[in-house]
Chains A and B, each alone.
Chain A
Amino acid sequence: MQPGRAEKRWMYETMLLSRRYEEAIEKIYLEGKQPRFDMAAGPIPGEMHLSNGQEPCAVGVIAHLEAHDTVTATHRPHHQAIAKGVDLKEMTAEIFGKKAGLSGGRGGHMHLLDPRVNFVCSGIIAQGLGPALGAALSRTMQGKPGVAVAFIGEGAVNQGAFHETMNLAALWNLPLIVVVEDNAWGISVSKKDSTAVERNHVRAAAYGIPGHFVPDNDPIAIYDVAGEAIARARRGEGPTLIEIETDRLAGHFMGDAEQYRPEGEKDALFARDPIPRLRDQMLAAGELSAEDVASIDAAVARRIDEAVAFARESPYPEPSDALEHAFHPVT
C-alpha cells in the first residue's frame, strides 16, 4: 500500500510540524533552567520526553486513521498527538500548565487527553494497551466503525500488560493494532540488554496473529505495513503487531546526559534523520518543489508561533481549581 502525493505531503508536513514544535518546546523548557538545571523551574516544569526522530511511526500509521479511531500513546506522545489532530494550541497550553489546556493543567505533557479525536496517553509503560483493547471491544460491541491503535515503546513489550492484551485481542478478534516504536533504549538500558528476542514482531506468533517488522525508520514503509494492518482490522479480521525500528534523537528526558550511548551513535542517528530524507526523496521525485518546501516551513513556523503565543498568553488556572474534576457530578 503506497501513499498518494497528498498523503505523502501530509506525512512530511506533519513530521516537520512535530519536529519544529519539539525544538520550540525544548528551547522554552530550558528557560529558567540555566545555568542550574532545576526541573521545577521555568514556563514548562516537570519531565519532558521528546519524540524527535520517531515522527515516521506516528505519520505512517495515523495517515490511515480517522478522528473516530482511537489512539493510546505513551509518556512520549507529542508526535502521535500532533498526527492524530489534537488541538495544538490547547495541547501547548496544557504543556505549560495553563487554564486553556486540554485538562486545564491537570495532566501536563504526559497526560494529553482529547475526546474530540479519541486520543489519550499516559505516563506508565504499557498502560495504554488495556484501554486500547477496550476501545476496540467497544466498537465491535456497538457495531460502530473504528479501530484502536496502541503505540508503545520496545520496553513496554516486556510488561505483563502486553501479553495479557495481545492474548485477549487475538482471542476476541478485535480491531487493535499494537505499534512498537523500537528506539533501542529504555532510558539507559539497551534493547539487547532487556529483551530476549532481537525483534518483537516475532512475539505475534505466540498469539496466532500477524507480526511485521519495519526497518530503517522509513515513513513510506511504515505506511505500507500499517495500511494493510488497519485495513485488515477494519474488515474484522483481527489484531496485528508491528515493530518499527526508529531513533530517539534526544535523551530519555530533557536533562539526560546520555553517557550510556556508545561513542558516535548520536551522530549516526542524525545522519539518517528521516525528515530530510523524505524531503529529499520527494524533491527528487518531483513530489515537492523548493517553493513547496519553503511554504511548508513557513506554515509550520506560523502554527507553532500561534500555539506558543496562545499558551504563553493564557492565564494559569486558579490554584483551587486543583480540587475540581476528580468526579463528574451526579446527574
Chain B
Amino acid sequence: MPEEASTRKLTIARAMAEAIAQEMRVDERVFVMGEDIAALGGVFGNTRGLLDEFGDKRIRDTPISETAFMGAATGAAMDGMRPVVELMFVDFMGVCFDAIYNCMAKNVYFSGGSFKVPVVLMTSTGGGYSDAGQHSQCLYGSFAHLPGMKVVSPSNARDAKGLMTAAIRDDNPVVFMYHKGLQGMGWLGTEPAAIVPVPEETFTTPIGKAAVVREGSDVTIVGLAMGVHHGLRAAEQLAERGVSAEVLDLRSLVPLDREAIIASVAKTGRLIVVDEDYQSYGVTGEIIATVVEHDVRLLESSPQRVAYPDVPIPFSRPLEQFCLPNADKIVAAYDAMGH
C-alpha cells in the first residue's frame, strides 16, 4: 500500500468497483458477468459505473442461470480470460455448486497445474435485516472447507480494494465474500467503520494475511467481515473495564494466516472467535483447532466462540437478532472464561 495515507473514504461497494475498473483498464482479459451487474450496477452496488466505462461486451448481464455462467467463467478462464463473476447471494450456491466446487475448484489440480483458472467469484453474505433463511447466510465455512478455492472476506473498504485487485491477478479461483451489512448501501443499513480512506492508485492486499486491527494483551478476538466490527465494539466495552483485547481481522480464510492467530494467542493467552456462519463444523472450530494443535499450553482458559446457532436463519426481527453475534455476546464470552 502507498505510504501516504489517502483521505478519500469509500464504501466497500465503491472500492470493489474501483478495483475491478482499474484492472479492466490495464488488462483486457478481465470482464464481469452475473445477474443485474450491468445497468443496475449490482444489487449491492459493487459494479456500479462499470457498464458506462466498459460497455456491455465486458460487463455482461446474465440470465438467472448460475450453473451455466459459473461453468462459463471456468471455461473462459481456462481459455485465457480473467472473469469476475457474481453470485448475487451466497445462498444461491445451492443451484450451481457443482460448477463451483467440482469444476472451477478442481481443474487446476486435475490438470496437474497445466491449466490456470483465474476466476473471481464475488458473492454477498450476511443477514441482520430480516431477509430470512435463503438470503441471509454466510456459508464461509462451506467454501473454505472445499479445496481449490481461495476465500477472502474484507471488513473495510481499503481491504476490499486491495483484496479484489489481488484476487483478479491470482491464477486460482478466489471467492470474494462481501458482507451486505458492510457494503455501504443505505437501504441495508451500514456499518460506518467499514467506510475508510482508500488510496486512489492500484494496490494489492495479500491473500492469506490477517491484520491486527486493535492491539491488546489480555484476550484475542478473531473474526472476519462483520465479526471484526463486533469484536472492535466488544474491545471498547472491555477496555472500559480495564481489559485489553486484541482484535484480529482474518481477511482471508483460504489460505488461513495461522501464524498470526498463534502469535496473538501466544501474547494474550485467551481466544474468542466470532463468526456469523453456523457454529458447528465451521470457521470457529478451525481457528480453535489451529491454536490447540500448535500448543494447547498457549491457552490460559478454554477458548470461546460466538457464532450463529445451528438453526436456519429466521425472519422475525427478535428471532434473528437473538441468533446473530454481537459485542455483548463477545463480552459475555470473555466473562465465561473465568478470570
| Contact call B170/A330, Cβ cutoff below 8 A | yes
Proximity bits, A96-117, B CB within 8 Å = 1, else 0: 0000011110110001011100
B37 within 8 A of A: no
| Contact call B109/A326, Cβ cutoff below 8 A | yes
| Contact among A107, A122, A135 for B76, CB-based, below 8 A | A135
| Contact among A104, A129, A141 for B71, CB-based, below 8 A | A129
| Contact among B71, B83, B106, B110 for A165, CB-based, below 8 A | B71
A residues less than 8 Å from B83 (CB atoms)? 134
How many chain A residues have a CB neighbour from B under 8 Å?
Answer: 45
| CB-nearest residue of chain A to B113 | A325
Proximity bits, A157-181, B CB within 8 Å = 1, else 0: 0001100110110010000000000
Q: How large is the interface on B (under 10, 10 to 19, 20 to 34, 35 or more residues)?
A: 35 or more
- Roughly how many angstroms separate A103 CA and B65 CA in the complex, as a whole number? 31
Proximity bits, A197-226, B CB within 8 Å = 1, else 0: 000000000000000000000000000000
B27 within 8 A of A: no
| Contact call B72/A131, Cβ cutoff below 8 A | yes
B84 within 8 A of A: no
| Contact call A130/B109, Cβ cutoff below 8 A | no
- Roughly how many angstroms separate A326 CA and B74 CA in the complex, as a whole number? 16
A320 within 8 A of B: no
Given contacts A141-B81, A168-B68, A326-B108, contact A103 B76 (CB under 8 A): no
| CB-nearest residue of chain B to A146 | B79
A124 within 8 A of B: yes
Chain B residues 206 to 262 lying within 8 A of chain A, measured CB to CB, are 207
B143 within 8 A of A: no
- Roughly how many angstroms separate A327 CA and B107 CA in the complex, as a whole number? 10
| Contact call B72/A134, Cβ cutoff below 8 A | yes
| Contact call B109/A106, Cβ cutoff below 8 A | yes
- Roughly how many angstroms separate A325 CA and B171 CA in the complex, as a whole number? 12
Minimum CB–CB distance for B204 against chain A, Å: 10
- Roughly how many angstroms separate A141 CA and B81 CA in the complex, as a whole number? 9
B residues less than 8 Å from A70 (CB atoms)? 75, 79
| Contact call B69/A168, Cβ cutoff below 8 A | yes
Given contacts A120-B107, A167-B63, A171-B63, contact A327 B80 (CB under 8 A): no
Minimum CB–CB distance for B229 against chain A, Å: 29
A residues less than 8 Å from B7 (CB atoms)? none
| Contact call B74/A130, Cβ cutoff below 8 A | yes
B residues less than 8 Å from A115 (CB atoms)? 78, 111, 114-115
- Roughly how many angstroms separate A136 CA and B76 CA in the complex, as a whole number? 8
- Roughly how many angstroms separate A115 CA and B80 CA in the complex, as a whole number? 11
Given contacts A326-B148, A327-B148, contact A135 B68 (CB under 8 A): no
| CB-nearest residue of chain A to B116 | A328
| Contact call A103/B103, Cβ cutoff below 8 A | no
| CB-nearest residue of chain B to A111 | B110
Chain B residues 72 to 126 lying within 8 A of chain A, measured CB to CB, are 72-81, 83, 95, 98-99, 102-103, 106-116
Proximity bits, B132-174, A CB within 8 Å = 1, else 0: 0000000000000001101000000000000000000011100
A132 within 8 A of B: yes
| Contact call A167/B65, Cβ cutoff below 8 A | yes
Given contacts A130-B71, A161-B71, A328-B171, contact A138 B76 (CB under 8 A): yes
A residues less than 8 Å from B29 (CB atoms)? 142
Could you list 27 A-B pairs, sorted by A, with CB under 8 Å? A70-B79, A72-B75, A102-B111, A107-B110, A107-B111, A107-B112, A111-B110, A113-B111, A113-B114, A115-B115, A120-B107, A127-B99, A130-B67, A130-B68, A130-B70, A130-B75, A131-B72, A134-B74, A134-B75, A135-B79, A160-B67, A164-B67, A165-B71, A168-B62, A326-B147, A328-B113, A330-B170
Which B residues lie at the A interface, using CB under 8 A?
A: 29, 31, 57-58, 62-63, 65-81, 83, 95, 98-99, 102-103, 106-116, 147-148, 150, 170-172, 207
